[in-house]
Amino acid sequence: MTRRDAVWVVCFLIAGALGLTCYIQFFDRALPVASLNFRVDREQAYQSAEAYLHRLGYDLTDYESAQVFSYSSLPQVFLERTLGLEEANRLVREWVSVWYWNIRWFKPLKKEELRVRIDPGGRIVGFTHSILESDEGASLSEEDALVIAETFLTDVQGFQLDDYESIEASSIERPNRMDHTFTYRKKDFVVGDDGHYRLNVTVKGDKAGYFAEYLKVPETFSRNYREIRSRAGLLTNIASVFFFALGIAMVVVLVRKYRQRTLIWRAALGVGILVAATSFLGAVNGYPLTRFGYDTTQSFVSFILTFIFGGLLSAVLSGVIIALSGTAGGAAAQDVEGWKNPLARLSLRGWRSANFARITLIGYGLAFAHLGYVTIFYILGNDYLGVWSPAAMTQYSNTYSTYLPWIYPLLIGLLAATMEEFFFRLLAISLLIRYLRSTWLAVLIPAIVWAFLHANYPQEPIYIRGLELTVVGVIFGIVFLRYGVWATIISHYVYNCFLGIYPMVQSDSLYFKVSGILAVAIIFIPAIPAIFGVITGRYKEAEEPEEVVPPEPPEDIASETEIPEPEPPPEPEVERKTPSDYLIPKSGLVVFGILGLIGWSVYFISDLPGFAKYARESIITRAEAIGKAEDIRRQLGLDLEGYQRTTSFSSSFRSSHFTHLIRNVDLARADTLAAEHTASWRWRVRWFKPLEKEELTISIDGNGDFCRISHYVPENREGAELSTEDAQKIAEAFLSGYLQR
């Protein structure tokens, strides 16, 4: 290690120490934190939910259970954006339900299941009893069901209904019971323009089967937020085009180098296998979380097999992509004048060399400096540029619900670091330097693409994440040019791991705190051999082997004796093939042509039974459907001047309803019923304006009859307040006048 290298290592380590100190000291100021009142941990939440269901009279014997920690993202964002973080945290700590434990009891292949939501303070904020629509139950009147609903809210949930007002009631007639739903709104509580806190109760038969309390986000805010996120997604999609082009370039490099027989793939394959193994281990480690999403229409054995094969497939795919990108990147680096393939030689001795020690220390220093940079970036952004980030949850994470919480960040960090650094540093910079002949452009372009692939993160303005990471990408590119790809991989890996581990270190739980400290220690394991080698002086810098020059013969002998030059060894005979050698011969093409002709003839000659043939015989044209839809729009008095109009044709024959129909009657009868009574083929004519809620959709079936209408208007638009009876009269008049029902 030269004096200059030692100075740079010290500089990186000092920058890393300052960055880590800055991150630890000012993390809460830079990145907002959700401050919750955790009175119940995971086990206490489960016990509380179990006791709650027992009080309601449910027997949980033979039920499987699963549990996750979750939150309602849009209400959280709405509270923070409207009231500010401090007031939002206060409301969430006291009574507004945003974060919650979600505990589920289920039986494989059974529809019936139970779910309970408990907020961090231990309060029951949600309950669901899912049953079949055909299950028997009482058919109560709305008044009798209302008594059951209000008794549930007051006696079981402990609400004072004087603080709430009823805003909605609806009923659904099931095959063997009647279900009633009631919605209440909290009085004297409004957030923003029209944000309200609501209670929702459903009485299934004669028992409360659903309850939820939630913050109703105004439609204007939710539409505006979705529009912002769609623009962020557009930035990501634009960057994805360049990423896709990089993938094509990777394939081209691999094919070209394979034909030249110059691919060096062992090291990249080893990294790919390592990542694949750790990815599968991560999937297995996350089984408790995957189990929560089990679909009860699937057998549990099938679910487990799907989980295993899905994890294997995902792991293998990740490993293959990393192996290919690493191999292609190394091959591209070989084509740059003065460069060598960084993956050409990868050995344990190399890891213990002083050179790798230097790379490792620089990687760690850069990672911790990155933490400090992010902290300062968002402090300045929050104070001067109006940057906003949603509150992070540092008190708990679903990582804690895995088998080994401390290993999860390590596995995720390895996948992201290797894949992104192989693609955006090793491969992209190597290719661009060769073809653009500009080092700065070669560093800047991949940095921008990599940065804006992260633009769909929730930070605002939507470009702020791209700006933040562009700077990081440029620095990573410079470090790559000077110290190689392993320095950036180590830095990227350590940074990602520390972000996932730090909440564990802050946890109040001794187990999670120890897990976090253990994970931090594991991060430093790759550096131990190299540091040990440098300290002990046992390992030296790898030196290039000197060229061996044969000794010159004595002059007298050289003058007297002529030494004949050895004949070059004969070149081995190599059978060379061109792409045309792999084409199908003409005889094979003739055989395939004959088989295709026979198949085509059989298909058109045979009159195979098919569904919906009768329905297809009398479908009106697109122009006729538009004309009928326009007539109906004018009859309804809807002026949509300035709106855009689109028309599409669709079929619903693949739905489960028609599967049920075919299974219960013969094919011909099912065909007739579908054509005459179901509007299975239909034209959809839609009027809309970009970024506006109001839109109209009118559907015309294949026979030319009006079959469906949807008119969406903003929630805050003024209108008449009719009684149920008056609204029912209008609905019945519409059905008889337009649908002849």
Tens of pLDDT, residues 623-641: 999 999 999 999 999 988 8
Looking at the structure, do residues 409 and 270 belong to the same domain, yes or no? yes
What's the whole-number mean pLDDT along residues 69-91?
A: 91
Strand positions, DSSP E, 233-352: none
Nearest Cα to Cα of residue 40 among 32, 48, 31: 48
Is 597 part of any domain? no
Burial of 204: CB neighbours in 10 Å, binned 0-12, 13-18, 19+:
buried
Is the same domain home to 210 and 241? no
**Structural domain includes residue 605:** no
210 and 80 within one domain: yes
**Per-residue confidence (pLDDT) for residue 653, from 0 to 100:** 62
Task: Count the helix, strand and coil residues of the chain and give each as a percent rounded to the nearest 5.
Answer: 55, 15, 30
Q: Supply 161's token pair.
A: 């209904």
Q: What is the pLDDT of residue 650?
A: 82
Confidence at residue 296, expressed as pLDDT on a 0 to 100 scale? 94
DSSP 297: T
Q: Has residue 606 been placed in a domain?
A: no
The phi and psi torsions of 555 (rounded to 5 degrees) equal: -60, -40
Q: What is the pLDDT of residue 118?
A: 96
| Spatial separation of the C-alpha atoms in residues 519 and 409, rounded to whole Å | 8
Pairing, β 207-216 against β 644-651: unpaired
Tell me the percentage of the chain whose pLDDT exceeds 90.
57
Task: Please report, in angstroms and rounded to a whole number, the separation of the first and last CA atoms in the chain.
Answer: 88
Cα-trace Rg, the chain: 34
User: Residues 651-679: what's their mean pLDDT?
Assistant: 70
Q: Which of 199, 217, 235 is a domain's end point?
A: 217
Contact 552, 363 (CB under 8 A): no
- Which carries the bigger pLDDT value, residue 514 or residue 465? 465
Structure tokens at 28: 């809460």
The answer, yes or no, to whether residue 553 has pLDDT greater than 50, is: no
- Bond preceding residue 566 cis, omega within 30 of 0: no
Phi, psi of 603 (to 5 degrees): -65, -45
Total domains in the fold of the chain: 3
Verify that 254 and 362 share a domain, yes or no: yes
The pLDDT of residue 731 is above 70: yes
Closest CA to 453 of 482, 419, 487: 419
pLDDT at 539 over 60: no
Q: Are residues 248 and 392 in the same domain?
A: yes
- The answer, yes or no, to whether residue 484 has pLDDT greater than 60, is yes
The region, left, alpha or beta by phi > 0 then psi within -120 to 50, assigned to residue 444 is alpha
Would you state the pLDDT for residue 411?
A: 84
Phi first, then psi, for residue 331 (nearest 5°) are -65, -40
Here the CATH number for the domain that contains residue 634 is: 3.10.450
In a domain, 424, yes or no: yes
Q: d(Cα 117, Cα 101) in Å, to the nearest integer?
A: 5
> Do 525 and 439 share a structural domain?
yes
Residue 558 is predicted with a pLDDT of 45
Do residue 405 and residue 494 come from a single domain?
Answer: yes
Q: 357 with 5: CB under 8 angstroms?
A: no
Average pLDDT for the chain: 86
SS3 649: strand
- Angle at CA 250, nearest 5°, toward 249 and 252? 65
CA–CA separation, 371 and 683 (whole Å): 55
Cα atoms found within 13 Å of the Cα of residue 136, Cβ hemisphere only:
0
Task: Verify that 278 and 381 share a domain, yes or no.
Answer: yes
Of 339, 313, 319, 335, which is closest to residue 249 (Cα–Cα)? 335
**Mean pLDDT, residues 419-443:** 95
Q: What residues have CB less than 8 Å from 478, skipping those under 6 apart?
A: 443
Residue-wise pLDDT for 9-30, tens only, equals: 899 999 999 999 999 999 888 8
CB atoms near residue 294 (< 10 Å) = 18
What is the percentage of the chain residues whose pLDDT exceeds 70? 86
Task: Give domain status of residue 263, yes or no.
Answer: yes
Q: Work out the burial of residue 492: count CB atoms within 10 Å of its CB; fewer than 13 is exposed, 13-18 middle, 19 or more buried.
A: buried
Domain that holds residue 487: 3-30+222-536
Q: What was the pLDDT predicted at 1?
A: 60
Tens digit of pLDDT for each residue in 257-268? 998 888 888 889
Q: How far is CA 227 from CA 224, 465, 574, 624, in A?
A: 5, 18, 62, 35
- Coil, strand, or helix at residue 190? coil
Task: Using alpha carbons, select from 138, 157, 136 the residue that is nearest to residue 201.
Answer: 157
Q: Are 402 and 288 in contact (CB under 8 A)?
A: yes
User: Mind listing the pLDDT tens digit for each residue in 556-614?
Assistant: 444 445 556 666 666 555 555 555 666 678 788 888 899 999 988 887 777 666 655 65
Mean pLDDT computed over 284-304 = 93
323 shares a domain with 207 = no
For residue 393, is it within any domain?
yes
Q: State pLDDT tens for residues 330-346.
A: 999 988 888 888 876 66
Q: How many CA atoms lie within 13 A of 520 on its CB side?
A: 16
Whether 706 and 733 share a structural domain? yes
**Quick one: 448 exposed, middle or buried, by C-beta within 10 A (0-12, 13-18, 19+)?**
middle
Cα–Cα–Cα angle for 168, 174, 180, nearest 5°? Answer: 20
Whether residue 192 is predicted with pLDDT greater than 50 in this model: the reply is: yes
Would residue 203 be called left, alpha or beta, if left means φ above 0 and alpha means ψ between -120 and 50 degrees? beta
Residue by residue, DSSP assigns 148-162 as HHHHIIIIIS---GG
Residue 132 lies in a domain: yes
Asked if 187 and 302 sit in the same domain, the reply is no
Picking from 217, 236, 261, the residue at the C-terminal end of a domain is: 217
Q: What is the pLDDT of residue 632?
A: 93
Token pair in block for residue 473: 């990408």
Residues 46 and 12 in one domain: no
600 assigned to some structural domain? no
Is pLDDT at 548 greater than 60 in this prediction?
Answer: no
pLDDT at residue 550, as a whole number: 41
The pLDDT score that the predictor gives to residue 159 is 96
User: Which of 505, 521, 536 marks a domain boundary?
Assistant: 536
pLDDT at position 213 is 97
* Three-state DSSP state, 251: helix
